[in-house]
Chain A
Amino acid sequence: MKSSAPLIFAFIVGIIVLLSEFIPHSPFNEIVSTLEGWFMIISGFAILLGQISLIRMNTHKIVHKLDNWQYHLAGLISFGLMLALGLLWGMQETPGILGDATGIQAWLGQKPFDYLFENAYLPLSATLFSLLAFFIASAAYRAFIIRGLESNLLMITAIIVIIGRTSIGTMLTGWLPESLHFWHFPNLADFIMEFPNTAAQRAILISAGLGIVGSSLRIILGIERSYLGGDK
């Protein structure tokens, strides 16, 4: 029963959600909304599991002074600090246990939680995101090294798109007569992005869509059950 109950539940829920896609009549819409609500409730409870896992793992590493335990201490302190500030003085319009921290607000310009969010969390997040620019450069360098016909084609296409999307492209081929309009760099770049690129992406999306149908069907019918832990 322990192993078959989730399969029966997955089958019933899967069929209902599938039918609701085609049957707009009551009660299908309501059932799907209720199921979505259940997911949110279960997620809410699961957050607690996540926090427990986080605290347990970090505490274990700090207590046993495992490698790089200092990072885990910093992580736990940050977690505890934000939690405490949020609980005590709230965030934005929401007051905390001790109210709105009017005195601190006068000093910091905003609530302590919001202050740390804007001045510590957001810059850190933006810093990590900005690393993407450097990673793109190094990955592109490797991709464009000519090893064969495919990488050659890739490099030529990339150069056309890069030049076509910058003002240099307009400048380089701006003198071309109207009859050679297509060979103007920005137009070539648009053509590559609009046709070959879109066609390839759609092919991937269509095949992924079919994969999703097959995968979902296997899950609904209980053929695929390794996501529950066991195969049979």
Chain B
Amino acid sequence: MRKTLLSLLFLILIGLLMANTFSAKDSPWDNGKSIDLVWEISPMAIKVEICRQDADEPKRVLLTCSDPSGSFRDNELEPNNEYHYQLKAYFQDDDLTLSASAQTRAQWFYMGKLGFLLLLLLVCGAILYYIQAARHGKEFFIRRIAGLDSMEEAIGRATEKGKPILYVPGISDLDDIQTIASLTILSHLAERAAEYDTEIIVPCRFSMVLSAAKEVVREAYLKAGRLDAYKPDNVFYLTDDQFGFVAGIDGIMLRRKPAANFFMGSFYAESLILAETGFATGAIQTAGTAQAHQLPFFVVTCDYTLIGEELFAASAYLSKDPQQLGSLKGHDFGKLVIILLIILGVILEILETSNLKEFIAGAIS
């Protein structure tokens, strides 16, 4: 009797283990645009086919494989919609159809971005801490940035020669942070130019940049008490076209021969054309960009180059405002954290543990 019961129990267990299952579940911690499909069927299956059966659309095959068990994430779905799936398993002399359905739901947090969020909070926290410390009178040492110190030299030279200064705020629109950083530098430069009574020419590629640049230069002249010297026509729109814009600036450089050229912001293929033409005119040139691919061109052709973060630090550096200088210390703290993470990551990778890498890259969800 006992033996029979045990055999029965064993058979039930085997049956349960061998049960064909197919389930669909909303992917956790996402934007409600994916569903996770999991299946486990008899290993005797020759082929497995998974389809999505939408109400208004024809059946769409998502996956064909021979794995008796596995998972698949159906992406690019609409949030808050019900989706129906069908698994068809083909055996030697039979086939099996299983169905499952699930509703997509947008969650309140992207778990995959947790590592990114923690890093961001750490860096932002450090920046805020140093800003607060600066507010309380703490002084920070900020290393010299030659490119920014040379600004006075460039303006002085333009004043001596009686030639204008050319300032190009990049070729991106106002939605690029590099353009915003460029406009903050323009503000300081225009104020200095106004004090020295030196003409500043600002050609713009986009109308939005034009309006912002006009306002920035006008306010700078007002601050310097030289509003009468402000020429609105010196801040002008050229064209939206990339190479048309370059041709226009090259023309200005060759005809008006500015004594100092500033290329600050986002630049692409035109960087070398601009900087080489400026070099040929003999102008003192300062460039700054966060586009890593364009930096070598600027380094070769310009007298001074602001590399990556120096462009964003420029405004704080030039303003000498303790609060802004405090934020630069926050950047340095961020760099320290990243250096430590890189060292730790390398050690963990050598030890064949990739948890940290996956956490930072957002693979763990």
Contacts and interface: CB of A to CB of B under 8 A. Distances in A.
B142 to A, nearest CB: 13
A107 interface: no
Interface string A119-146: 0000011001101100110111011000
A48 B259 CA distance: 32
B218 A229 contact: yes
B108 interface: yes
B237 A54 contact: yes
B30 interface: yes
Interface in B218-268: 218-220, 223, 233, 236-241, 243-244, 246-247, 251, 255
A46 to B, nearest CB: 4
A226 B216 contact: yes
Interface residues of A, number: 61
Interface residues of B, number: 84
Given A50-B210, A224-B324, 18 more contacts: A22-B110, A24-B31, A25-B107, A39-B175, A42-B208, A56-B233, A124-B247, A204-B292, A210-B123, A210-B309, A211-B309, A213-B120, A214-B127, A214-B328, A224-B315, A227-B183, A227-B187, A228-B216
Nearest to A232: B321
A12 interface: no
Contact of B301 (A25, A139, A215): A139
B31 A29 contact: yes
Interface stretch (B37-45, B46-54, B143-151, B329-337): B329-337
Contact of B208 (A46, A204, A226): A46
B207 interface: yes
Interface of A: 21-26, 29, 39, 42-43, 46-51, 53-54, 56-57, 60, 67-68, 71, 124-125, 128-129, 131-132, 135-136, 138-140, 142-143, 201, 204-208, 210-219, 223-224, 226-231
Contacts of B295: 204
A119 B293 CA distance: 31
Contacts of A205: 290, 292, 308
